Each structure stands twice: as structure tokens, then as C-alpha cells.
Amino acid sequence: MDKKHSGGRKAVTKRVLIAEDERNIAESLRFLLTRAGHEVGLAVDGTQALAMVRRRRPDALVLDLMLPGLSGFEVLKELRADAETRTLPILMLTAKGQATDRQTAEDLGVDAFVTKPFANDEVIATVARLLDGGGRE
């Protein structure tokens, strides 16, 4: 429990964007991250995720790999190519721990990688870690 609530610094609420097309998974992630004290946004496809990041840069992005429109890889690539978002902490979710997926994600500059089905604690703790060490603001 401690871990979950110590993620965001109490003084400043952190913004986390979730890009996930499986709405039930998204709903559960939203609940968990909100409860951990973050302000949470939700995108249901890759294009929307990019648009939302550009409109208002979040402090971290939880990015599913298998998104309609633009895949998680493409979103990641676009964000890393843009000076504004080059250092945005990104946690990628994938359905399988395929070695090539992990390799591609790492090559494209992902900060963390969690495979489904995930333990809630793992996602919350990883987001907390990224917000503590990965953010620039």
C-alpha cells in the first residue's frame, strides 16, 4: 500500500496519460492511477494519444503496444523524434513479452516495459518510479 500512495509527490499532482483501447483495462488503470493521487487522461487509439500529449504534455505516458490507428511503437517513435517529448517517461504495456517487441521498444527509447496480465502494484510502482526519476519538470 505504501508504494501505491507514495508515487506522486503530494505537493504537485502529476498528470498521467493512459493510451489503451481495451476499455475495461483502461478503466481499471484509470481507477488505480487516480487512487495513487495522479490526474489521469485516457486515449483510445494512437492518433488520439499523440494529439493529447501534444496538446498538454503529461508527466508520464502508459502506452499499450496494440493500439488501432497508430501502434504503440509508432506513437513512441513520433514522441521520441520530437524535442518537446523526447524525455517524456513512457511505460509500454504489451500482451506478450516477445523478445523482438522488447528489443524494438528499447531501440525506440521506451523507459519501462510491463507485460499483461500485470499485477496492479507493478504498474503503479513503475509509474511512480518514472515520475520520480524520469520526468524533467
Partner 1 sequence: MPSLPIGHRVRARRKGLGITQTALAKTLGISVSYVNLIEHDKRSIGGALLNRVAGALGLEPGALDGAQERRVLDELSEIAASVADGTDGPGPESARDLLARHEPWARVLLSLHRAGMRDQGTISALSNRFNQDPLLDASVSDMLASATAIHSVADIFADAPDMEGDQRARFDAILKEEATRLSDVAQTLARAFEGGQADVSGLSAPEEVDDFLYRRSNHFPALEAVAEGLELGDMPDAAALAAYLEDRHGIALRPLPLDAMPRASLFEGQGRTLDVVQGAAPATLRFELARAIAVLEGADAIRAEIADAPELGSAAGRERAARALAAYMAAAIVLPYAPFHEAAEALRYDIDALAMRFGASAEQLCHRFTTLRRPGAEGVPFAMLRANAAGYLTKRFPLPRLPMPRHGGACPLWAVYSAMQTPDLRVARIAEFPNGERFFMLARATRPLASAHGQTRPTYALMLACEIVHADRLVYSDGLDLGGAGRADPVGPTCLLCPRTACTHRQEASIRTKAG
Q: How many CB atoms lie within 10 A of CB 123?
A: 22
**Cα distance between residue 73 and residue 93, in whole Å:** 11
Q: Is 122 in the site for partner 1 (CB under 8 A)?
A: no
The end-to-end CA distance of the chain, in Å, is: 26
- Report the side by side order of strands in the sheet with 112-115: 39-43, 15-19, 60-64, 90-94, 112-115
| Stretch of residues binding partner 1 (CB under 8 A), selected from 9-17, 83-91, 117-125, 127-135 | 117-125
57-76 mask for partner 1 (x: CB under 8 A)? Answer: ---------xxxxxx-xx--
33-52 mask for partner 1 (x: CB under 8 A)? Answer: --x---------xxx-----
Closer by beta carbon to partner 1, 27 or else 84: 27
Which residues, listed in sequence order, are joined to residue 33 by a DSSP beta bridge? none
Q: How far is the CB of 136 from partner 1 (least distance, A)?
A: 25
Q: Is 118 in the site for partner 1 (CB under 8 A)?
A: yes
**Cα distance between residue 73 and residue 110, in whole Å:** 9
**Residue that has been written with the C-alpha cell 517517461 in this structure:** 89
Q: How far is the CB of 45 from partner 1 (least distance, A)?
A: 7
Residues in touch with partner 1 (CB under 8 A): 21-22, 24-25, 27-29, 31-32, 35, 45-47, 66-71, 73-74, 77, 95-96, 98, 100-101, 103-104, 107-108, 116-120
